[in-house]
Chain A
């Protein structure tokens, strides 16, 4: 099932400032870390929205806000038209069932004192109305099977599993309440290369099986491109560019997106020479004291006076196919988009090559 235009999550002007305080007994506020500073986007039904950005850009805080693990300073998030922050009591608890999360760290996200059965069954303890007690064990075993684990593992403890298997346990827990939205907070970045693909494939097959919408947060642009339908690029608490996967990767318009893409190493030495690399100078400024105007201007090669005085809004600009927050947005191809056929050697050609090699 492909993505539709119907929105399941509508995020509007979401802001989260963490106060910075001083003093031990009597605390006073001396500033604020502007972790998320005015973020708006829609998550459509059945789609995967990738969120990329470097550490400190606010993408994990965004995940916590959507999970209501943190309450926002301002703004709202609507789940199917209902503002999730104004819900109380039973309605709030019921809403929670619909948005679940898969965490980054498969080691800290599972309670070491609980068995796999307890962990995957915990959602049923908290929402007993979902499954009668006598059905729970069977449901847990079904969930384990769905994520590719043996149902016989139900009595084992997390430490008896590898990182990839633990991540599967976390996914099973996230699926238990049959949510419509799953927030994936760097779900594969702690995994080994050979295991990462297994988990990515699992996410993809679960999406079509259970009609899930994913918000897929990651710093790895290759993974995000692979799994996402649309992509949002974050920098210092703001979305700087958002669009379809092909727009962001094929025709990025914001200088930050362009720099980010050019920095991604491509696992193909043949492309070494052809690849232009934009190496950004300096570090990301502190989110406690972001630059005025455009937040990227301190590292941007296109910077002009207007960038420090006027903040560029995230809108569709002339000549650009998708919203971009840059006064001088300009679509440029940074990485060539290849198809698998361009890269993989056809078996016949390979054999021929092998023959010439052998003869030589």
Chain B
């Protein structure tokens, strides 16, 4: 039924082209396209996505936002502060058209600007730490699940060891002893790298376990056997058969890992082992506010709400993604 002879001229190419024209009219919808259509219909997830996008834009364009709506984050505004009580003069923590979220006690720094700049640290650390965990976790998970045997045994035990690690205590201890410069970095860059490393490097087993399980179950699927029976080599099976099917779980777990990491970064900053002042962080602001809650609990609200909204938005988006990508999980 095939025509092995190559005939020169236009008539040989005519037939395939005719078929090709027909093809364009019937389009296949991939699972990704279907997931996107489902996601678009999920209003809660879309709301989460909108908030996430706004937060990212706010962090990226923090200088512009602050120039338009606030004051430099480390500028002191003593005239907003009552010199006797050290608290802002205006009510509700000094909220006014000039200071959208009020001002900080003692020095009178603009809380709005500090929240906006704080988002840079929160998101940067959360994204980078997530990226680190996902990369390590995916590689380890795929290797363990794909090769099995003693490789799987070693990696699985390694995951157990990592998960048994008292991470928070370790982070506090490590952050306390690391000098101000090292690895060719200094100041904020060093602190950020350190925190990303601590969070990212010790959280990979969570995603590693998920990916290992998924790989194991995919490896048992018959389409992998089909490829093997045709003589496919391991790289082919890994890149053509397994990885495309792992994209969805990786995406979902990354989105759900980000809010966890935001909370962890906030906790470290709250405990004073995060990025150092005067750089503003949400956790640090929350920590500062606790000294004043008996005088005026209003200072707790801006950083608290910022953390809450961010974490909620990521979680809603992640849940929506999971539903859209795998309707059976409901």
Contacts and interface: CB of A to CB of B under 8 A. Distances in A.
Interface of A: 24-25, 64, 67-69, 92-93, 96-97, 99-101, 103-105, 108-116, 119, 122-123, 125-127, 135, 137-139, 141-142, 146, 151-157, 159-160, 170, 173, 177
Contacts of A151: 19, 22-23
Contacts of B236: 125-126
B7 interface: no
Given A155-B28, A177-B230, 10 more contacts: A64-B225, A96-B229, A108-B222, A111-B241, A113-B244, A126-B227, A142-B2, A151-B19, A152-B19, A156-B26
Contact of B225 (A103, A112, A153): A103
Contacts of A152: 19, 22-23, 25-26
Contact of B28 (A64, A93, A160): A160
A111 B245 contact: yes
B28 A157 contact: yes
A156 B15 CA distance: 21
B244 A127 contact: no
B27 interface: yes
Contacts of A67: 225, 229
Given A25-B157, A141-B19, A152-B23, A157 B228 contact: no
A92 B153 CA distance: 31
B320 to A, nearest CB: 20
B24 to A, nearest CB: 9
A138 B19 contact: yes
Contacts of A114: 240, 244
Contacts of B2: 135, 139, 142
13 contacts: A69-B229, A96-B229, A126-B227, A138-B15, A142-B2, A151-B19, A153-B28, A154-B23, A155-B23, A156-B28, A157-B30, A157-B31, A160-B28
A137 B231 contact: no
B328 interface: no
A127 B228 contact: no
Contacts of A69: 225, 228-229
Contacts of A154: 23
A308 B221 CA distance: 39
A109 B223 contact: yes
B29 interface: yes
A49 B327 CA distance: 41
Contact of B31 (A64, A100, A113, A135): A113
B226 interface: yes
Interface in B16-41: 16, 19-20, 22-23, 25-31
Interface of B: 1-2, 15-16, 19-20, 22-23, 25-31, 153, 157, 221-223, 225-232, 236, 240-241, 244-245, 247
A64 B228 CA distance: 11
A103 B222 contact: yes
Nearest to B244: A113
Contacts of B221: 108-109
A182 to B, nearest CB: 11
B223 A108 contact: yes
Contact of A160 (B19, B20, B22, B29): B29
Which of B26, B27, B226, B231: most chain A CB closer than 10 A? Answer: B226
B2 to A, nearest CB: 7
Nearest to B243: A113
B190 to A, nearest CB: 39
Nearest to B228: A69
Contact of B230 (A64, A100, A104, A110): A100
Contact of B1 (A68, A146, A159, A173): A146
B231 A127 contact: yes
Nearest to A25: B153
B222 A105 contact: yes
Contacts of A64: 225
A115 B23 CA distance: 13
Nearest to A102: B226
A67 B222 CA distance: 13
Nearest to B32: A113
Contacts of B223: 108-111, 119
Nearest to A109: B222
A127 B26 contact: no
B19 A126 contact: no
B146 to A, nearest CB: 16
Given A25-B153, A142-B1, A157 B29 contact: yes
Contacts of A97: 230-231
A68 B15 CA distance: 39
Contact of A137 (B16, B25, B26, B230): B16
Nearest to B223: A111
A157 B223 CA distance: 14
Nearest to A156: B28
Contacts of A142: 1-2
A101 B231 CA distance: 12
B248 to A, nearest CB: 9
A37 B281 CA distance: 68
Nearest to A104: B222
Nearest to A115: B28
A197 B207 CA distance: 45
A127 B245 CA distance: 23
B16 A103 contact: no
B216 to A, nearest CB: 14
A100 B26 contact: no
A155 B26 contact: yes
Contact of A68 (B19, B22, B157, B229): B229
A292 to B, nearest CB: 33
A105 to B, nearest CB: 6
A119 B19 CA distance: 19
Given A126-B236, A137-B16, A153 B26 contact: yes
Given A113-B30, A157-B29, A122 B227 contact: yes
Contacts of A173: 226
A108 B20 CA distance: 29
A24 to B, nearest CB: 8
B304 to A, nearest CB: 42
A97 B232 CA distance: 11
A260 to B, nearest CB: 26
Contacts of B1: 142, 146
